[in-house]
Amino acid sequence: MNIGIIGGGIIGLGIGWQLVRRGQDVTLFERDTIGEGASRAAAGMLAPYAEVGFEEVPLMEFSRKSLHLYPQLLDELSEQVEEAPVFDQCGTMMAGIDRDDTEYLKRLYDFRRELNLSVELLTGTEAREREPLLSPNVVSALWLPEDAQVDNRKLLHKMKEAFEGAGGVLKEHTAVRKVQVDGSMITGLRTGKEAFEFDNVVLAAGCWSQQIGGIPGPIRPPVRPVKGQIITLEKTDDCPLKGTVRSPRMYMVPKEDGTIRLGATSEEKGFDTRPTAGGQKELLEHGWEMVPSIFDLPFVEVMAGLRPASRDHRPVLGESDINGLYYATGHYRHGILMAPVTIYAMVEEILNEDGSELLNPFRPQRFNN
């Protein structure tokens, strides 16, 4: 089978890699370079237990399955490349500094207990015993021991190496203008200069997915960009942060490369990816509020990415109303977390006539009404 993939983030790249592993001919088109979009501007948190909201139980179940698939994905990657990233089950500390935070954390605790999740409600003193760098102003916390993290940037780099090493064709700096359709069947795609024939096409272009031509307006994936700014700091001996720290306003994640990532804003700014003084000020203030010892840490990088958000903030996954055109987009804040389950389920969807039942809550047809 000859398959074209539009988009070289972790979703498109991962699907392409797994399809090549299964003997398919895959060409991947990336408008920029691999790993320069939302998949780079992320902290690599694998935190379904910290992030599940009060109305997101189906999303949490999908995310939890993905968390459990991460070791398998990384083991398969290790078969092809050296020094694959590690699965770090470091847990998440969600901390609060005032009465409002404490009430919010108590509601989150009760909700997680209803779902039979592993969670502890801590006092500020108990939280500092686990993470000594927490501010003396922290008065309450949740501890979620089953959350994890991965170095998402290293993962993208190694996945690219595995994809090309297995025979995948990568076309960077090649923007796809439109898909080509004959009746209700996909036949290929067109870039600015060339046309390519494919049996199947996977649209995994993140927030640019709706801009690909050739798809009738009513069935285009309803995905928009949501800007997120993130700061990377150099971890020093003065700030030996042990694990992921979150508050209702920020997250802070120490990485295996000796940095700390601090994020993230959430801004409806269209396709603007410029970091701003206000966004950075907000992140630094919230971070310092929780972990004062970040004050003297050197800057490594400041950047912003665009999260692909659908109308209901759930991913858009599965075959579209055009036969052979598959959507894998709209993961919003959870692209790194949901990568393994999305990758494996989409491969099953493409290669098996019966598709994948895992994708049923997220199929694009839910937007048809």
Chain centroid, CA 150 distance in Å: 11
- Work out the number of other CB atoms within 10 angstroms of the CB of residue 171: 17
Per-residue pLDDT band at 52 (split at 50, 70, 90): confident
Query: pLDDT of 229-239, one tens digit each?
Result: 999 999 999 89
- Tokens of residue 320, six digits: 């579209």
Query: pLDDT of 297-323, one tens digit each?
Result: 999 999 999 999 999 999 999 999 999
Query: pLDDT of 76-128, one tens digit each?
Result: 999 999 999 999 999 999 999 999 999 999 999 999 999 899 999 999 999 99
- Decide if 2-80+152-221+312-367 and 92-144+224-310 have a common fold: no
pLDDT at 259 over 90: yes
Which pLDDT value is given to residue 180? 98
Report pTM. 0.96
Query: pLDDT of 327-356, one tens digit each?
Result: 999 999 999 999 999 999 999 999 998 888
How high does pLDDT run on average in the chain?
95
Identify which of 4, 2, 15 has the alpha carbon closest to the alpha carbon of residue 331.
Answer: 15
Domain ranges of the chain: 2-80+152-221+312-367, 92-144+224-310
Per-residue pLDDT band at 45 (split at 50, 70, 90): very high
**Please, are residues 104 and 120 in contact by the beta-carbon 8 Å criterion?**
no
Residues 171-180, mean pLDDT to the nearest whole number: 98
Q: 212: Cβ–Cβ under 8 A, 6 or more apart, which residues? A: 6, 176, 177, 178, 179, 203, 205, 220
Per-residue pLDDT band at 54 (split at 50, 70, 90): confident
CA triple 319-333-291, angle to 5 deg: 165
Q: Which CATH code, of 3.50.50.60, 3.30.9.10, 3.40.50.300, 2.40.30.170, is assigned to 92-144+224-310?
A: 3.30.9.10
Q: Which CATH code, of 3.50.50.60, 3.90.1150.10, 3.40.50.300, 3.30.460.10, is assigned to 2-80+152-221+312-367?
A: 3.50.50.60
